Amino acid sequence: MGSKEKILVAALLLFNRAGTRPVTTNHIAKEAGVSPGNLYYHFANKQEIIREIFSQMSSLFDKITPSGSILPGSLEALDQAFRQITEAEWEYRFLQKEMVTLIEQDPLLKDLFLERQNARIVGIESCIRAMIELGLVCSLDEAMIGRLTQVIWLVAIFWNPYLMLKGEPVTRARISEGIELIRLVISPYLVAEKTAAIMSV
Amino acid sequence: MGSKEKILVAALLLFNRAGTRPVTTNHIAKEAGVSPGNLYYHFANKQEIIREIFSQMSSLFDKITPSGSILPGSLEALDQAFRQITEAEWEYRFLQKEMVTLIEQDPLLKDLFLERQNARIVGIESCIRAMIELGLVCSLDEAMIGRLTQVIWLVAIFWNPYLMLKGEPVTRARISEGIELIRLVISPYLVAEKTAAIMSV
């Protein structure tokens, strides 16, 4: 592992453990086993490290949902994407916890975040349209597709913070509960004759 | 206004403006126009002020949804409660932004929060049961009531943070969008012959 990567791994560990506030670049350099000078060779400041970690997480999401589309148009694929996204969000949980505050403090991070969020929302909409075209979901107007997408998006991004608020660890079982909520939201719009087979997978 | 109340008003103003972190008890005393000694007569520290503000917000919620029930069993009452809750959450927006972190730092606040959250979740469940008894909502098993409640709760508590993440101000129009999402979630379960009249109100 190069020193840049070591710094990012150490920063993620410390941010997840203690939040971004008490962690200094000196702490990160020490945890990474590099000199402060080496850290400053790679990163101008802590904000730049946070932005880089955000980009790492975004790349991970891109792998889960390639080319902006959240899934190829099936409920199982939606489940799978939700599970992987929730696990990735848990891996980068300090970002989920602090995002509103971090964005306020860093306009560059805000731009990054909004760009990624829009791409993912467009991805969910494409997925719903794909399911409509495949005849899995009944015909819906644009306003309905928009609102369904927002509910799914809200459940997906806030399921982890919700569990954290309850003080509950994010286990695979709890992640599955979040998936059931997404299924609940979409299930009334599934075409009846195909629903039973899909829901019982 | 007594000095205790002045301190709470000043603290809420400063916390909403800058977050809890950079605000000291000295800042609060100065903004409130009281001496630091007077502040410490009322509050042992900043955490105690935050807990008191949380209790204020909870009392406001109790007024909106009296006796633990979120509504007497109609969609209009659900809309009304959602609107008032969202506006109250906006008034106390620093709590929404920082809740996960604040809870981690203060076990007493966590206990308060969990107790209130449980009461409000029970309230939403009672409301759904009331609508079933009134024949407005079709019969649902306990698991479905539980999942519906969780989706409604997630939308209700995270609608403001979601708008904040998008960098959008929380206006009345945006609050109405959140209400439409709640309606979307509940509408497939409305009993058909009564739905049209209710949804068009």
pLDDT confidence of residue B41: 97
Size of interface A-B (CB pairs under 8 A): 78
Q: Which of A150, A182, A191 would you mutate first to test chain B, the one with the most B CBs within 10 A?
A: A150
pLDDT confidence of residue B118: 87
- Residues of chain B with Cβ-Cβ distance to A148 below 8 Å are 184
- Residues of chain A with Cβ-Cβ distance to B158 below 8 Å are 154, 158, 161-162
Q: Give A6 to chain B, closest Cα distance, Å.
A: 26
pLDDT in tens, chain A (201 residues): 899 999 999 999 999 998 898 999 999 999 999 999 999 999 999 999 999 999 999 888 877 765 444 455 666 777 777 778 777 878 898 888 788 788 888 999 999 999 888 888 888 888 888 888 888 889 999 999 999 999 998 888 888 888 877 777 777 778 778 888 988 998 899 886 555 444 443
pLDDT confidence of residue A168: 77
Mean pLDDT per 10-residue segment, chain B (201 residues): 95 94 96 97 97 93 62 67 78 84 89 88 86 88 93 86 78 80 89 54 38
HEC secondary structure over A42-100: HCCCHHHHHHHHHHHHHHHHHHHCHHHCCCCCCHHHHHHHHHHHHHHHHHCHHHHHHHH
- CA atoms within a 13 Å half-sphere pointing along the CA-CB vector of B102: 26
Tell if the CB–CB gap between B166 and A117 is shorter than 8 Å.
Answer: yes
Tell if the CB–CB gap between B184 and A144 is shorter than 8 Å.
Answer: yes
CATH of the domain spanning B1-43: 1.10.10.60
Q: Which residue of A has its CA nearest to B147?
A: A181
One-letter amino acid of A201: V
- Containing B75, the helix (H) or strand (E) segment is helix B75-91
User: What's phi and psi for B190, nearest 5 deg?
Assistant: -70, 145
User: What's phi and psi for A138, nearest 5 deg?
Assistant: -70, 165
Q: Report the C-alpha gap between B29 and B11 in whole angstroms.
A: 9
**Nearest CB to A154; choose among B100, B162, B188:** B162
Q: Give A1 to chain B, closest Cα distance, Å.
A: 32
CATH of the domain spanning A50-199: 1.10.357.10
Pick the closest to residue B11 from B38, B48, B49 (CA basis). B49
The answer, for B159 touching chain A at a CB cutoff of 8 Å, is yes
**Nearest CB to B100; choose among A110, A161, A180:** A161
**Nearest CB to B167; choose among A114, A144, A147:** A114
The predicted complex's ipTM stands at 0.76
Instruction: Say if residues A96 and A160 touch (Cβ distance below 8 Å).
Output: yes
Domain ranges of chain A: 1-43, 50-199
The answer, for B176 touching chain A at a CB cutoff of 8 Å, is no
HEC secondary structure over A109-131: HHHHHHHHHHHHHHHHHHHHHHH
